[in-house]
Chain A
Amino acid sequence: MKEETAQAIVEGLKEGGVNFVVYMPDSFFYDVITKVKEDPGFTSISVPNESVGMCLCAGAWLGGKKPVMIMENTGLFVASNAITRFHQPFGIPVLMLISYRGDAGDGWWMVTAIGHAFEPALKSLGITYELVDNPEKAKKAIQLLQTSAEVSEELQAVVFRKEGVW
């Protein structure tokens, strides 16, 4: 990841009031995760899968934290059970930062199917999302979607495209 992207993401989280970071280790977000772990302004935890992570975020929100879930888009499918049986029926707001594997320009055979399924899955799960392809847009999108997640009590996702920010 570009240093300016990692910095913009961390600044966006801080300015959005996020203070609880749950992450499934992901190569795209490695620099962000490293910065977050070193920053005392965040409580952070690594999880074994994204479903556990999303439930953990939900519990943290219910206890007064402002959570974010950081993950690769593959994890959306792992988390979909929790999303449809917990976050949506209860109305639990969580901001998600998602790397877009299988995006145009990726091309690795292992992730092309995820690329095809990802955006339709976001739409079918009712998750409002914003595609970002530059650091400045990333920062603004994080702040905006964090606020709208809280107000709407729904899930919102900032999706990081291959080009511009990787």
Chain B
Amino acid sequence: MVTRFVLLERLAKMVKDELVVTNLKGTAHEWHYLSPKDSNLLYLGMGMPTPAALGLAMALPHRRVISLDGDGSILLDLAGIPAVGQVAPKNLTVIIFDNQCYESNGALPTPTANGTDLTGIAKASGIPKARTVLDADEFEDAARTALTTDGPHFITAKVERGTKKVPIIMTYGRYNKYVFVKHVEKTEGVQILRSIKASGAGYTPNKEYFKD
């Protein structure tokens, strides 16, 4: 098997203006190290990256969205998978790095270590373009297909345990959100953040922040 870091290296070379939502801990740190972009929303809690990415994909149907999720995370709330299948957004790619354990807190096994088939669950949930990959070349092929053809795509990437020792940049959620939202505002030509002045609710505390 291959490490998640090697697969993320391959993915980072392919990603351009896609919006990327990541799981927390190792996946977030490695991805931020390899692809430090304003289009990353990092460090979402277990069960949250894929449904959040689905919401983004629905809001911006012309923009590709990638969820970098994990087996422990998606297993916490499998309901996110049929939600994706129900909407079937063409612009969404879900990548599950399946190390078959809860690595960040001691590596006790997840149910995938005992045969739970996430790709099978995805297919049975209305996502026919679901596949399991076992090495870097297979992953690169699956990712390239996902980023160049209509989805939704669901890739279960079987990976070894282990997180690359990269500089840990502990982003703060609100800061990450502002950077991400300002990027979306700029690239999509929309206003998301709403000034207090615009709301008529009183005063504008920081005019410099809202001016662009």
| Chain A interface residues (CB < 8 Å from chain B) | 20, 43, 45-49, 51-53, 55-65, 67, 81-82, 85-86, 89-92, 147-148, 150-151
Chain B: residues with Cβ within 8 Å of the partner, total of 43
Return chain A residues, CB-CB under 8 Å to B181: 62
Beyond the given pairs A20-B59, A48-B83, 19 more chain A to chain B contacts, judged by CB atoms under 8 angstroms and listed by A's residue number, are A20-B58, A45-B58, A47-B83, A51-B47, A55-B52, A56-B83, A59-B52, A59-B53, A59-B59, A62-B184, A82-B45, A86-B45, A89-B173, A90-B174, A147-B199, A148-B199, A150-B194, A150-B199, A151-B199
* Interface check B190, CB cutoff 8 A: yes
Contact with A along B49-66 (1 / 0, CB 8 A): 001111111111001000
Cα A144 to Cα B199 in complex, Å, equals 10
Picked from B87, B177, B190, the residue with its CB within 8 Å of the CB of A92 is B177
Determine whether the beta carbon of A64 is less than 8 Å from that of B201.
Answer: no
Picked from B44, B60, B192, B194, the residue with its CB within 8 Å of the CB of A86 is B44
| Distance in Å: Cβ of A18 to nearest Cβ of chain B | 13
Determine whether the beta carbon of A60 is less than 8 Å from that of B58.
Answer: yes
Within 8 A of A (CB), among B188-212: 188, 190-192, 194-196, 199-201
Return chain B residues, CB-CB under 8 Å to A55: 44, 47-48, 51-52, 55, 80
Contact with A along B76-120 (1 / 0, CB 8 A): 010110110011000000000000000000000000000000000
Cα A47 to Cα B191 in complex, Å, equals 27
Contacts A64-B59, A85-B45: A59 and B173 contacting too (C-beta < 8 A)? no
Q: A65: nearest residue on chain B (CB-CB)?
A: B59
Determine whether the beta carbon of A90 is less than 8 Å from that of B188.
Answer: no
Return chain B residues, CB-CB under 8 Å to A43: 58
Cα A85 to Cα B173 in complex, Å, equals 10
User: Which of A48, A90, A148, A150 has the most C-beta atoms of chain B within 10 angstroms of its own C-beta?
Assistant: A90
Return chain B residues, CB-CB under 8 Å to A85: 44-45, 48
* Interface check B21, CB cutoff 8 A: yes
Picked from B54, B190, B196, B201, the residue with its CB within 8 Å of the CB of A59 is B54
Cα A56 to Cα B188 in complex, Å, equals 19
| Chain B interface residues (CB < 8 Å from chain A) | 19, 21, 41, 44-45, 47-48, 51-60, 63, 77, 79-80, 82-83, 86-87, 173-174, 176-177, 180-181, 184-185, 188, 190-192, 194-196, 199-201
Contacts A81-B47, A147-B201: A90 and B59 contacting too (C-beta < 8 A)? no
Number of A-B contacts (CB under 8 A): 126
Picked from A56, A90, A147, A148, the residue with its CB within 8 Å of the CB of B54 is A56
Contacts A52-B80, A56-B51, A86-B45: A63 and B56 contacting too (C-beta < 8 A)? yes
Determine whether the beta carbon of A60 is less than 8 Å from that of B56.
Answer: yes
Return chain B residues, CB-CB under 8 Å to A90: 173-174, 176-177
Return chain A residues, CB-CB under 8 Å to B196: 151
Return chain B residues, CB-CB under 8 Å to A48: 79, 82-83
Contacts A45-B87, A89-B173, A151-B199: A61 and B54 contacting too (C-beta < 8 A)? no
Task: Show 23 A/B contacts (Cβ-Cβ < 8 Å), sorted by A.
Answer: A20-B58, A20-B59, A43-B58, A47-B51, A49-B79, A52-B80, A55-B55, A58-B55, A59-B52, A59-B54, A60-B58, A60-B59, A62-B55, A62-B184, A62-B192, A63-B19, A63-B58, A63-B184, A81-B45, A82-B47, A86-B44, A90-B177, A147-B200
